[in-house]
Amino acid sequence: MDPLTAPARSWLFVPANRPERFAKAAASDADRVIIDLEDAVAPGHKVAAREKLASAELPSSKPLYVRVNSPSTEWFFADVAMAVRLKLAGILLPKAELATDVERVAAQLSSGVTVVPIIETAAGMWNAQEVARSRRVERLVFGALDFELDTGIREGDDTFAYARSRVTIASRIAGIAPPIDSVTIAIDDEARLRSDAERSRRFGFGGKLCIHPKQAAVLNAMWLPTPDEIAWAEAILSEHAKRPNDGVFAFNGTMVDRPVIERAKRIRAAVGTA
């Protein structure tokens, strides 16, 4: 399954030291599965988790990624050396701050395997475009929790609007896939999850990380066009079909030009691939 074309709305973490959960994660509604050697594993268990992962039976029904420990840690090189021997879609690189961080991973990858850098520090945000343009990068992830810890900026009322916009714009300039937004830590609060996902969509993200399988179905639905969006798109395209040579026209009291028509086409295409 090509990670560049497969759905990428929900990315489910599973701890690397719990191999009995790998198949369950792959059988969930999540579009992608991330086996986590970083935050999900305590420092004293990092080596044992890596060894378990190296010999585990890995599911193949979903694009599979491994989140290694960050380049500044003692576990990074051994994590990458082990991960590149697995059958993966890609490697998530936490606290990516420089193109050289990405290159350390990219240089060891086999054909078709990608790097997914996580932008979650001030330095990473400052260098987001450089990181996004690095070799083998599939897309970026915004790590809001660590970004808050690193910068002291507390999330709320779109205080991370600049950060999210920068990640999306850097991705677009680099010509890579739309970025993935941070987790919603409130597992049982579906309203909060939906609100966070709507914000992610508003900022141009293509999906979100999730920490529980039940979050995946909600996120998948949030990246489908709404009935109102579908009705709007069909009305625009129907009117455009009546006047194909008009570059600009008025419809229901609003101006319709090329960007509006292209947005309507994207909504129709999204319905067709849902």
pLDDT digit string (tens) for 83-110? 999 999 999 999 999 999 999 999 999 8
Q: Quick check: is 3 in a domain? A: no
Is-contact 169 133, C-beta < 8 A? no
- Residue 271 pLDDT class (50, 70, 90 cuts): confident
pTM of the shown model: 0.89
What pLDDT score does 1 carry? Answer: 62
Looking at the fold, whether 171 and 39 belong to one and the same domain comes out as: yes
- The CATH code of the domain that includes 203 is 3.20.20.60
Q: Is the predicted pLDDT of residue 273 greater than 60, yes or no? A: no
15 C-beta neighbours (distance < 10 Å), count: 19
Looking at the fold, whether 74 and 206 belong to one and the same domain comes out as: yes
Please give the residue range of the domain that contains residue 116: 10-222
Beta bridge partners of 251: 254
What pLDDT score does 158 carry? Answer: 86
Dihedral class, residue 239 (left if φ above 0, else alpha if ψ from -120 to 50, else beta) = alpha
Cβ contacts of 28 within 8 Å, gap of 6 or more: 12, 213, 216
| Number of independent structural domains in the chain | 2
Segment 133-139 mean pLDDT: 97
What pLDDT score does 263 carry? Answer: 84
Q: Which position has the higher pLDDT, 66 or 232?
A: 66
